[in-house]
Structure 1
Amino acid sequence: MTKLISTRQRTRLLGATALGSALMVAAGGGTAWAQGTASGGPQVEELVVTALKRSTVLQDTPIAISAVTGDTLAKMGVDNISDYAKAVPGLTLVDGGPGARRIVIRGIQGAGEAQVGVYYDEVPVGGSPGTTSDSGARSPDLKMFDVQQVEVLRGPQGTLYGSGSMAGTVRVIFKKPLYEYEGAVEGNIFSTNEGGMGYEANAMVNVPLVEDKLAARAVLFYREAEGYVDNTYLGLKNVNDETTWAGRLLVRFEPTENLTIDAAAFVQRTDGASSLVSVKAGDYVSTSRAELPLYDDYNIYSLTGRWDLGWGTLTGVTSKYSRSQLQTTDVSNFISNLRNNPALCASRNGGLPCGPGEFATYNAYVNTHTPSTLYQPQDVDTWTNELRLSSNGDGALNWTVGVFSEDRDAFILSQQQGVDPTTGIAYSPARISTVRTIDDSLKQTAAFGEGSYEITDKLTLTAGARYFKYEKKIVGETTIGLDLIGARVTPPTTVSSKEDGWVFKFNASYEVNDDIMVYAQAAEGFRPGGANQVIGLPGALTPYASDSLVNYEIGAKTAWWDNRLTLNFDVYQIDWDNMQVSGRTPNGAFSFISNAGAARVRGAEIEAFLSPMQGLQFQANASFSDAKLVEDQINPDVNAPGRKGDRIPYIPKTTAGVAAQYTWPLSDTLDGMARLDANYVGSSYSEFRPTNAFRQKIPSYALANVRVGVESKEWAAYLYVNNITDELAYAIKSQSAISAGTINGITVRPRTVGLTVNKKF
């Protein structure tokens, strides 16, 4: 059995919890600040969350968790995760564009399997591994309409949510069928600076089928948006168009008052093109020599049963998730730069040095392989099952136990194909330079349990554990080779990686009074290792191990002024060992994963909600994260590894967000509404080492959105402006051997002005 953390770390984990418990007991003599207002005024909304796989009140849940309601999401105009990330402290994105976003919580960012679990209702939905086994970089991003709320759990959630929740968990909870007729439609038209027009159309209908027994809820979504990136090399405008449609059907069946069965089907189809820009070429400009289409299709089917036994609830979930995705990359400049290469020319000249004639022949050969793209479609099918039993009631002991299984299979095709130098469109029939295929399978099983016990009416202790076992198998084959990049024809080759072990969680919470709770927690997180399928790497198919971390945390949840103000904050330290890091082959052509070094993240988070008067609400959040290496990444396989003291790439030290919303009566049936959302993201870097020639600084930026409108119980209309100042804000910047001197980037959408109208029935 693999031991994920050392004895020294385990001792520190237990010691941190004991220290936190002592601090909470010592705090028992304190009193709340004065509440000098009369009762009966406006209060911050009390939210019920299911983060612990049972219902608890948000302010009574002793973990770092944020919840954004569906009403708030609608008022913010949220379309996807990048829109609501600004409302959550400690949540950031490494944004590679549609279908290529990495979700980051508390600075835990790196290549490999996802470090943040993403759940849509009860279904865990993962990324596509691709040729680099980097599924975490392709987190799913389903459209947000008719959502009940979004819950973001910060810190490891390994005991209840498993390997994908090493740094935290994001849960999107959809509205469920009701036993009454209900409907809604929404239209949205918008125009983007530097781009063109776009529109959205959404609809929902809820139908009771059998009184108090059977109901269905159907949701449709459609979005079409012109792009805002111009390709000056090919002379094309607005190349990053997007068309997305989605549908969701939920059916609820309650044959008895104690049994609820929910069936759900969700499909989403996205067609578009890369939003990559060439930073030095101008604002929102691409110099790609090829068109870069993409598609990202989802199918999710799930069946959830809940049986109320009186003393407990038995929940069973089975789900099937499939994803088909295409990503394309321009490699024209990389191949072109291989011209006049003495070593490669000599290798094609029988090992002899090349003269002018040999170089001419060699360069003509290189020219036959450029311009070109990497064309990489991939299919992922995942079957997950979970069975758990949770206690009911308000007794001193509350607990959850369960078992989990996951079976994921992925197939990836990677081929370099030629494109027409005039149009940038791939030739048909295809002109193929090299082809490889990858079969990637991951099987996981786990048993988990978590229980809390009220030692006194103020002090509660919680402990959790999860036993896991996984096996990952990679089968790689190169059917067409290309000597220019070191791709040799290889038969199907298999390599496996497997591991088992335990993760633990300890938590102590103390209620100082009805309005103040403090807690301390120590929790472990992990994610599976795997195997590389890489050509040009010595050993070709090499396994790498899991990495793990321990999170130590102390926090407080407080309410003031007759609950008109809630103020929650926490401080934490994360020790991350045996990091999975990304490297490249010596020629820069292929990426792979290895284990090297350790990191420490120290940070603080604060979140406040204020409702000082009827109709007026304020929200603010901020996070500070100091994410650095504490050990050199000494590994001969990793190119330009980091050194002790280097910052983790793409992690800003500071983020902050503020929101203000005011609603006032215009008449007996109409209200006015005005809302401002603003957020700040600090600067970060694309690589560990300051001396790395490819390292790019991603500058800090501040963005603001404003929304004004009129609303009634049946309809509403809002005029909005996103990115009011039209800030040129880079979500990422990067450079590599593949980009051949070009600095690539993804930007936040330029200023966008729009009108949204909705109607409820």
Structure 2
Amino acid sequence: MLKHCSGASIGALAIAIAASGTAHAQEAAPAQRQGGITEIVVTATKRTENLQDVPLSVNALGGEELDNLGVDTFDDYLEQLPSLTAGGSGPGQSTIYIRGLASTTPNLTTAGVAGLAPNVAMYLDEQPLSQPGRNLDVYAADLERIEVLAGPQGTLFGASSQAGVVRLITNKPDLAGFDASAKAGVSFTKGGESSYKGEVMLNVPVTDRFALRGVVFLDDQGGYIDNVYGTRSMADSARFRPEGTVRYNGVPVSARRAGFQQNADLSNVTFIEADNARLVEDNFNDTLYSGFRVSGLYEFNNDWKLTVAHMRQSVESDGVFFADPELGLDNLDIQRFSDDRLEDDFSNTSWTVEGRLAALDIVYTGAYTDRETDQNVGYSDYLFVGQYIPYYMCDTAVSYPGYVASAPADPTCYAPNLAVKSHSETSVFTQELRFSTPEENRIRATAGGFYQNLVLKERNDYYYASEMVRGSDGVTTGFAPVYPFTNTEVTGTVGNAYPGYFSDPGPLPEGVGFRNDVKRTDKQWGIFGEASFDIIPDVLTITGGARYYDVKVDLEGAATSAFCKLNSPIFGANAGVDPADQVNIPGCGGTNLDLKYGPDRAPGVPGSAKTNGTIFKGTLTYKPMDDVMFYATYSEGFRPGLLNRPGGANGPGDYVVPYALDTDEVKNYEFGWKMQGFDRQVRFNGSAYYVDISRLQTTIFDPSITNLFFSDNAADARIYGVEGDFTFAPYAVPGLTLAGAFSFLNTKVTKVLVPTNDVREGFDLAYAPSFQGNLRVRYEWDLGDTGMVAHVMPQVVHSGSKYTDIIDINRLKLDSYTTFSLSAGVKKDQWSFEVYGENLTDTRAEIAGSFNFDRPRITTNRPLTVGMRVGWHY
């Protein structure tokens, strides 16, 4: 069976060059160089169809093309698909956006507390893997293809497909015969470390009805960012302050973030410096991907079969993947004062039963995913927002000047060695049952039901260096032990304690000033269907679809503080009590979500964020001739809301932070075309669209409303866009393929719905470059009578500038960039060898960024990298 090269959306369609089974490369090569475009098969409508017959904007990268492009990880295929962008930074820490439908950069340390639901669905085969705050970074081992469905796909794919769907389709076990392959590579990065990778695949037919397939992979990616020496204190010099920042008696804070301590007299304060000498390291951001996937296929008879797959993957990463432009972006330098690291492990088991009952095709699929992450995040950049730093990091006499009559004459602000230790456990259980009528019928339909239960448990411990405070007698007193807010089993029902969720009985570890300990449960079920009717067979077709959805999001847990200053002398029940006397207090301060959203919640406070409703889709398809299709589509999408930790806080005027967010919704109007011509030597697919966005969700930090991050339906917006891809494979020049893709965007906030100066009408949406595109040429030829086939493939990728947020105070502009790559190699029999160069001009492409702490942090591409790959296929 020939492997299909994809090409639709990056425009990158190289012609298929290898056959599976025992076919050798030189046997497939002559057909390859006859010219013409290879058919692409996709399952974007949950049916197996030729890409050119699907009235959707579908971009596809096939297995052969994934190998040609060296695609292994999330960042690799993101670069190849112009309709995609991503926020976040580093392996396992990015959120996908399609067509610029984005509002904010995700804050991973609060993903469980305030993480917006993703609006792009990530699928592995038939199962959704989307998770709040963090997308799974699935390694692209032994994939048949990657499909990207742009625009709302809610009728068939549900809540997280508001902007589109990314589908990773794996190669399945094959009963046809034994198959094996292996590939390995090494690469060298300018100014960085070497990288190594390897992958082995086996396909074994055990009987004529039972086959097993397995793949194992290891990818060690060397670092290229340097952690350079520096010191940092709360009285840091002007060179560390962002433009427009003012100084309040030695504390650098933005005027828009100035807190109650802004006028404190710090002239007699001792500032202790943080020093990162022990952490200084070149190329400290290395990453290791490792894992395996094994799948089994059993055919009961000609109509029914069962496929079961299990995958495990581990990602271990050190350092950070962003640099500080104020230290020189060209040098890729950063100053970190804590040991940044990530361990991200997941296991996934899926099962699919496919069969036929009378005229109906039936598919039942289920999956269970278990993910565990442990991450240490340096938090010293929090210094630069300055909001309440003296309150956290200094003696009481600094935070509350004049409160303590006999305050020491030499108060101290401690070293800002801040860090967050994050532990999360996520489980996702999904089931779907669907029925399809025969594709050849004039009236045909797909319908079914879906259920998902996602449970995310996240515990974030915030470490501060100032766990001590000086009381009125000048004696330094500690706060420990402090027990988690809800831990009544240890402390008894005292103070604010309440029976509820906690993951650790406590007390808080030494050095922990705050803990967010949250369990979030997202449950959804839906009934969906799409039906098509051929008004004029093979010429004019109308399709209608609908989905009824019911989604419920619950939040349990607490935010516990060891800073008893939270309750004194200004705040809470302990106001007026000397901090030196505030010890051994369970849940010393913070917020108890179980009290707020539990069964004893106040009147009018919802116990969960619930939503239900129906969305619709309609498409008219017109095929005036073979290989030419036009379609017009109206489609709707939605994203569920969530609960707010600071819900109920009063803002300007009569504004109140909502306890529960409403859904945000999109209406998509699209006209598309798919064309092949000149005896299938040219393919040109594209679409033009308008997207109307209502109640766009975003995360906000506005001290005039509350001193905590919260989320709201902040704005209405709209998007205009045109995207397309093309492929040219002329018969006159066998072996030549020219492919490209493009995306034009115009996005705009049209109406602000919350009373804050941080969202402005007319702003571009986040991660929405006005233009993205790529172009690639691949040429193959025979090397005389040697039996070898050579190839060369240059590629160029361009992205326009973009912003990282619609929140003005967090808004960072990322520059446009253009990168070049080149590969060349030979194939003979079962063997292939290739050399390649990526980012040949050593460009610092600004992929993503953040300004959440008034400091620009920019994620770039890997510097100039050259390498070689060898492959073997039996």
Superposition TM-score, scaled by structure 1 size: 0.87
Superposition map of 1:503-514 within 5 A: 503-514=615-626
> Per-residue CA shift, 1:40-75, capped at 9, x if unaligned?
952111111111111111001111111111000100
Unaligned runs of 5+ in 1: 1-39, 130-134, 421-427
Structure 1 residue 527: Cα displacement: 0.9
Q: State the secondary structure of the residue aligned to 1:596.
A: strand
**Match for residue 740 of structure 2?**
620
Matched, 1:717 2:833: yes
Q: Residue 85 of structure 2 contacts residue 767 of structure 2 at CA under 8 Å; is this kept in 1?
A: no
1:250 to 292, 295, 306: 295
**Match for residue 725 of structure 2?**
607
CA distance in structure 2 between the partners assigned to 1:536 and 1:705 by the alignment: 53
AA of the residue aligned to 1:635: V
Q: RMSD between aligned alpha carbons?
A: 2.6
Change (3 A) 1:479 1:596: closer
1:187 to 179, 184, 189: 184
Change (3 A) 1:285 1:108: same
**Match for residue 821 of structure 2?**
705
Q: State the secondary structure of the residue aligned to 1:531.
A: coil
Structure 1 residue 338: Cα displacement: 6.7
Q: Residue 339 of structure 2 contacts residue 377 of structure 2 at CA under 8 Å; is this kept in 1?
A: no
Higher strand share: 1
CA distance in structure 2 between the partners assigned to 1:161 and 1:710 by the alignment: 41
> Per-residue CA shift, 1:161-216, capped at 9, x if unaligned?
001100111111111111211111111111111211110011101111112x0000
AA of the residue aligned to 1:122: E
Q: Residue 89 of structure 1 contacts residue 623 of structure 1 at CA under 8 Å; is this kept in 2?
A: yes
Matched, 1:629 2:749: yes
Q: Residue 308 of structure 2 contacts residue 351 of structure 2 at CA under 8 Å; is this kept in 1?
A: yes
Matched, 1:488 2:578: no
Matched, 1:432 2:512: yes
CA distance in structure 2 between the partners assigned to 1:419 and 1:325 by the alignment: 25
Matched, 1:236 2:355: no
CA distance in structure 2 between the partners assigned to 1:608 and 1:293 by the alignment: 41
**Match for residue 135 of structure 2?**
139
**Match for residue 119 of structure 2?**
115
**Match for residue 367 of structure 1?**
414
**Match for residue 204 of structure 1?**
201
Q: Residue 117 of structure 1 contacts residue 165 of structure 1 at CA under 8 Å; is this kept in 2?
A: yes
Change (3 A) 1:744 1:196: same
Structure 1 residue 360: Cα displacement: 5.9
AA of the residue aligned to 1:572: Y
Q: Residue 644 of structure 2 contacts residue 660 of structure 2 at CA under 8 Å; is this kept in 1?
A: yes
Change (3 A) 1:41 1:293: closer
Q: State the secondary structure of the residue aligned to 1:543.
A: coil
Q: Residue 488 of structure 1 contacts residue 535 of structure 1 at CA under 8 Å; is this kept in 2?
A: no
Superposition map of 1:305-324 within 5 A: 305-324=353-372
Change (3 A) 1:713 1:743: same
> Per-residue CA shift, 1:222-257, capped at 9, x if unaligned?
011221111113321111111110100010000111
Q: Residue 344 of structure 1 contacts residue 484 of structure 1 at CA under 8 Å; is this kept in 2?
A: no
CA distance in structure 2 between the partners assigned to 1:332 and 1:271 by the alignment: 23
**Match for residue 464 of structure 1?**
545
CA distance in structure 1 between the partners assigned to 2:536 and 2:697 by the alignment: 43
Matched, 1:124 2:242: no
Q: Residue 104 of structure 1 contacts residue 116 of structure 1 at CA under 8 Å; is this kept in 2?
A: yes
**Match for residue 316 of structure 2?**
271
**Match for residue 402 of structure 2?**
353
Structure 1 residue 634: Cα displacement: 3.2
Structure 1 residue 140: Cα displacement: 1.5
Q: Residue 824 of structure 2 contacts residue 836 of structure 2 at CA under 8 Å; is this kept in 1?
A: yes
Structure 1 residue 460: Cα displacement: 0.2
1:165 to 156, 161, 167: 161
Structure 1 residue 713: Cα displacement: 3.7
> Per-residue CA shift, 1:734-760, capped at 9, x if unaligned?
223xx3x43211111111111111111
**Match for residue 397 of structure 1?**
443
> Per-residue CA shift, 1:591-648, capped at 9, x if unaligned?
32111220000010111011013211111111101011111x2314xx5432221111
**Match for residue 286 of structure 1?**
334
1:677 to 787, 791, 795: 795
> Per-residue CA shift, 1:138-168, capped at 9, x if unaligned?
2212111211111111110000000110011
Q: Residue 338 of structure 1 contacts residue 484 of structure 1 at CA under 8 Å; is this kept in 2?
A: no
> Per-residue CA shift, 1:698-741, capped at 9, x if unaligned?
000011111111112401011111111110111123223xx3x4
Q: State the secondary structure of the residue aligned to 2:715.
A: coil
**Match for residue 594 of structure 1?**
712
How many residues of Structure 1 are paired with residues of Structure 2 in the alignment? Answer: 695
CA distance in structure 2 between the partners assigned to 1:471 and 1:687 by the alignment: 27
Superposition map of 1:503-582 within 5 A: 503-534=615-646, 542-582=659-699
Q: Residue 153 of structure 1 contacts residue 168 of structure 1 at CA under 8 Å; is this kept in 2?
A: yes
Structure 1 residue 356: Cα displacement: 11
Q: Residue 258 of structure 1 contacts residue 307 of structure 1 at CA under 8 Å; is this kept in 2?
A: yes
Q: Residue 392 of structure 2 contacts residue 563 of structure 2 at CA under 8 Å; is this kept in 1?
A: no
Change (3 A) 1:593 1:559: same
> Per-residue CA shift, 1:575-602, capped at 9, x if unaligned?
0001101101529964321112200000
Q: Residue 119 of structure 1 contacts residue 171 of structure 1 at CA under 8 Å; is this kept in 2?
A: yes
CA distance in structure 2 between the partners assigned to 1:623 and 1:490 by the alignment: 45
Q: Residue 320 of structure 1 contacts residue 384 of structure 1 at CA under 8 Å; is this kept in 2?
A: yes
Q: Residue 537 of structure 1 contacts residue 585 of structure 1 at CA under 8 Å; is this kept in 2?
A: no
Q: State the secondary structure of the residue aligned to 1:578.
A: strand
AA of the residue aligned to 1:86: E
CA distance in structure 2 between the partners assigned to 1:339 and 1:317 by the alignment: 50
**Match for residue 461 of structure 2?**
415
Matched, 1:221 2:221: no
CA distance in structure 2 between the partners assigned to 1:355 and 1:343 by the alignment: 17
**Match for residue 334 of structure 1?**
382
Between structure 1 and structure 2, the one with the greater Rg is 2
Q: Residue 390 of structure 2 contacts residue 398 of structure 2 at CA under 8 Å; is this kept in 1?
A: no
AA of the residue aligned to 1:367: Y
Q: Residue 349 of structure 1 contacts residue 358 of structure 1 at CA under 8 Å; is this kept in 2?
A: no
Change (3 A) 1:344 1:447: same
CA distance in structure 2 between the partners assigned to 1:317 and 1:687 by the alignment: 37
Quote the sequence identity (%).
28
Structure 1 residue 542: Cα displacement: 2.1
Q: Residue 522 of structure 1 contacts residue 550 of structure 1 at CA under 8 Å; is this kept in 2?
A: yes
Q: State the secondary structure of the residue aligned to 1:99.
A: coil
CA distance in structure 2 between the partners assigned to 1:208 and 1:598 by the alignment: 55
Unaligned runs of 5+ in 2: 1-32, 105-115, 230-275, 467-507, 572-587, 598-606, 651-655
Q: Residue 716 of structure 2 contacts residue 753 of structure 2 at CA under 8 Å; is this kept in 1?
A: no
2:58 to 53, 65, 69: 65
Change (3 A) 1:359 1:295: farther
Change (3 A) 1:340 1:145: closer
CA distance in structure 2 between the partners assigned to 1:699 and 1:360 by the alignment: 49
Q: Residue 665 of structure 1 contacts residue 671 of structure 1 at CA under 8 Å; is this kept in 2?
A: yes
AA of the residue aligned to 2:645: Q
AA of the residue aligned to 2:637: G
